[in-house]
Amino acid sequence: MIQIVAVGVAGVALYKGGKYIYNNFINNKNVILVGESMAGKTTIFNILTKNFDSVKDEHNPTNTLNEKNYENFHFKDHGGSEAQIDARNELFDSLSDGDYVVYVFNSSEYNKKEKIQYGMKFWKNCIDEEKNKGKKINYIIIGTRAGETKKDIMNDIKQNISNAKVEIFELLGDQSNNHYKKIHKELMGLFE
């Protein structure tokens, strides 16, 4: 059951199961998911927002914007990389100090596609431009489908992209709610 715990001129707070599910009295942090097409952005979005029933082993690109509030975060899932680059200025206009850009890529393609390294550096440069304007934007890089190469890829990224948190997840292995709850907890830990 969702309880309305506060309503006022400034906003509303909704409470469910011992947690705030929406509270615009507290400044929500924006989290923008960007990255390569077919990398798992929508799966990450569904896990972060605890929409486990929507996590599927589908390989269909999405070109729509998904938005959802969860706890004190406002998550935005953007379509493939070309659409994001075109909308770059609009994306960054919506960001404030302390918000996040999360770059998602398919780790199994890491050594095969220069586009992944280009994308990581592109978004890092965009964040650096915002820092020069006085905004502090956090950068997180998430790889999916890593398998045995996880450690090597993480080390390589950490050497080439400074000041970014890096993690790689196997999203579609187990496909149980417990598996997704574990990933959810680890993902949310990146935003601390």
**Residue 1: inside a domain:** no
> Which residues have CB under 8 Å from 18's CB, separation 6+?
none
Q: Which amino acid is at 81?
A: S
* pLDDT value at 2 more than 50: no
**Residue 125: inside a domain:** yes
More confident residue, 95 or 39: 39
Q: What is the pLDDT of residue 4?
A: 47
More confident residue, 187 or 91: 187
**Residue 22: inside a domain:** no
**Residue 44: inside a domain:** yes
First to last CA, the chain: 28
The domain containing residue 95 runs over which residues?
27-189
Q: What is the pLDDT of residue 141?
A: 93
- Structural domains in the chain (count): 1
Q: What is the CATH classification number for the domain harbouring 89?
A: 3.40.50.300
**Residue 99: inside a domain:** yes
Q: What is the pLDDT of residue 37?
A: 83
Strands 2-8 and 11-16: antiparallel
